[in-house]
């Protein structure tokens, strides 16, 4: 286990599928990221662990838009700008929300200035003395589950299918295979970007916080994910998630979940 409480750790693209736990923000964290098995053009996901002292920090994942030039550059810019702003505004016992919001706004303008139409989703979660709060744009997801598998919090994807799922109009199984699942209504890199700020939530001792790009949630159901991460070591959970996702992404059964995509997730538990 490595101590990284004073140094930002950014995964701007691939971390080669490596899994290791680190001490971070008063807890333990594990990051995994790899490119889609069906492409060689590189990973358009980026991730970051941005510390603010021993008991606070920001976890973040950005998923660059596929099919648009510069998706990888957009996601890297989002994480880099977020890291710069949070680090600059970091101070003891100070809420990190202002740094997160400023960082996302700066990233949005910088990506717009590229003039290429590139964009990215972004999910950022502040951890501060065991209390978490999310800020997100797009369809990357954060959820908190208890040791017994109860969902204590989950973000809503900014997409027509995500809203339909949340309102109960379609079941999860249909949403995961819906033809319009990847139509996103909110991105970083848009003049109409909006930020959704979640409620503050105090983590219990054995709660698990997960952040993930859609490469995770397109290939595993919420029920499967929670069963894997709710207990046991974070390393074991990360290994199981990554192995099962890779298996799903490369299978050929028409009646099974199979959506090759870049895969990035972060697991966090308080000490």
pTM, two decimals, is 0.91
Below-50 pLDDT ranges, the chain: 1-5
Which H or E run contains 63?
strand 56-64
- Measuring CA to CA, which residue among 93, 85, 99 is closest to residue 129? 93
Rounded to 10 deg, the angle between the 97-114 and 71-89 helix axes is 150
Q: What is the pLDDT of residue 41?
A: 79
Do you know the residue count of the chain? 271
For residue 59 the two structure tokens come to: 């976890």
CATH number of the structural domain 2-270? 3.60.40.10
Q: How far is CA 13 from the centre of its chain?
A: 13
Residues 248 and 246: their CA atoms lie apart, in Å, by: 5
Q: What are phi and psi of 34, to 5 degrees?
A: -155, 155
Q: What is the pLDDT of residue 158?
A: 81
Q: What is the pLDDT of residue 91?
A: 76
For residue 90 the two structure tokens come to: 């970091």
Residues 68 and 215: their CA atoms lie apart, in Å, by: 17
User: Domain segments of the chain: what residues?
Assistant: 2-270
């Amino acid at each position: 286990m490595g101590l990284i409480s004073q140094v930002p750790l950014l995964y701007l693209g691939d971390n080669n599928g490596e899994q290791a736990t680190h001490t971070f923000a008063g807890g333990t964290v594990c990051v995994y990221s790899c490119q889609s098995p069906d492409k060689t053009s590189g990973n358009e996901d980026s991730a970051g662990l941005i510390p603010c002292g021993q008991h606070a920090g920001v976890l973040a994942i950005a998923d660059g838009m596929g099919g648009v030039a510069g998706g990888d550059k957009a996601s890297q810019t989002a994480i880099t700008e977020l890291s710069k702003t949070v680090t600059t505004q970091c101070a003891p016992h100070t809420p990190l929300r202002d740094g997160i919001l400023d960082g996302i706004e700066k990233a949005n303008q910088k990506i717009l200035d590229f003039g290429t139409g590139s964009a990215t989703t972004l999910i950022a979660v502040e951890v501060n003395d065991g209390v978490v709060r999310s800020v997100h744009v797009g369809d990357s997801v954060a959820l908190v589950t208890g040791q017994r598998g109860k969902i204590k919090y989950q973000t809503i994807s900014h997409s027509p299918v995500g809203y339909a799922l949340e309102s109960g109009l379609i079941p999860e199984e249909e949403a995961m295979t819906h033809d319009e699942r990847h139509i996103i209504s909110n991105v970083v890199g848009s003049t109409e970007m909006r930020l959704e700020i979640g409620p503050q939530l105090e983590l219990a001792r054995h709660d698990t916080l997960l952040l993930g790009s859609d490469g995770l949630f397109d290939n595993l159901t919420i029920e499967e994910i929670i069963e894997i991460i709710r207990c046991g070591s974070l390393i074991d959970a990360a290994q199981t998630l990554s192995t099962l996702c890779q298996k799903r992404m490369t299978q050929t059964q028409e009646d099974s979940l199979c959506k090759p995509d870049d895969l990035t997730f972060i697991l966090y538990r308080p000490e």
